[in-house]
Structure 1
Amino acid sequence: MTDRIEKTVELNAPVDRVWRALTDHREFGEWFKVRLDQPFVPGAESTGQMTYPGFEHMPWRAEVVAMDEPRLFSFRWPHMDEQQKVREDWSWAVVEFRLEPTDAGTRLTVTESGFDALPPERRDEAYRSNEGGWEEQMGNIKAHVER
């Protein structure tokens, strides 16, 4: 295992289209399956409610770290325990979306780091769960921007 998850997807959409899908809170909510309360603002908290089937009981909470248009969008969010409750005594994970133009459109790379800070008994499960989640989310954004 490692401290970071990294997933890359090639998108048949221009960088500005992918940037909008990532940073417009309504559009992000469509493909990520979350209802956000307010636009993303660097340094500000982002709150909302998950709408993904089976996870509707979970709140969304993150802090926007950077919006460096059109290359980098990042936020940090809290790790959850086995009952899907935020643990304030654990460090937060950092999620980065990096966009690169390609001949066909955009290469999008998402990286989530911060798993090594979790207690050893929670680390493997959190990593596996999030790795599978990012695999699915990369498919979601691909379908969203290519339609």
Structure 2
Amino acid sequence: MRDSIESEIEIAAPLDRVWGLVSQPGWWVNDGTYAEGAAERVADGEWVVHNEHHGDIAVTVVELAEPERAVFRWSPGGPGSSPTTIEFTLASSSGGVTVAVVESGFAALTPEQYEKTYSGNVEGWRIELGALADAADAARTGEHA
């Protein structure tokens, strides 16, 4: 059983623009398009993302170290499942910004939760990082993400 998922993308955008997107709690809880404004703050560091398809998802802000590191915790297996930790690391590059994501904690899931979430999240991060790049580009062109 693998404990973590790692993925990375190069985004042709300024660091501050990408940070503004990545630092939003729960932006990755969506249907393939960046979920701007979908999170509601319910307590200090605690947020709920409202999504028609996935329902209400709790997200905890663990750390925001602008502009290079954002760490969140959530339960990808739904309420009552063990949480995973998502760490985004941003670094300037010649082409813009490299965004790396590591989601860890899958080994603590029950076998049923693991089976339900791990492979979906592997594919999900490919989709979500693409949505992040699209949102950064839309911000550049003045379109809505």
TM-score w.r.t. the length of structure 2 is 0.81
Q: 2:32 matched to 1:35?
A: no
| Distance in 2 separating the partners of 1:2 and 1:68 | 27
* Aligned-residue RMSD, C-alpha: 2.6
User: Residues 138 and 27 from structure 1, CA distance in 2 versus in 1: closer, same or farther, beyond 3 angstroms?
Assistant: closer
1:77 lines up with 2:74 in the alignment: yes
Q: Does residue 95 of structure 2 align to residue 104 of structure 1?
A: yes
TM-superposed deviation, 1:26: 10
- 1:47-71, Cα deviation, whole Å (9 max, x unpaired): 13015xxx1x510211100000111
Are residues 1:120 and 2:111 paired? yes
> SS in structure 2 opposite 1:134?
helix
Which residue identity is paired with 1:38?
R
Kept after mapping to 1: 8 A contact 2:25/2:61? no
Equivalent pairs counted in the alignment come to 135
Equivalent residue, structure 1, for 2:22: 22
C-alpha distance after superposition, 1:75-128 (max 9, x if no partner)? 100242xxxx411xx431000111010011000011111110011233133101
Distance 1:94 1:25 in 2: 12
- Is the CA contact (8 Å cut-off) linking 2:27 and 2:36 kept in structure 1? no
On the 8 A contact 1:95/1:110 being kept in 2, the answer is yes
TM-score, normalised to structure 1, is 0.80
Tell me the residue number matched to 1:68: 65
Counterpart for residue 131 of structure 2: 140
Q: Distance in 1 between matches of 2:120 and 2:70?
A: 22
Distance 2:26 2:47 in 1: 12
Report the CA distance shift for 1:121/1:25 in structure 2 as closer, same or farther (over 3 A): closer
> In structure 2, the residue corresponding to 1:2 is in which secondary structure?
coil
Residue 6 of structure 2 is aligned to residue 6 of structure 1: yes
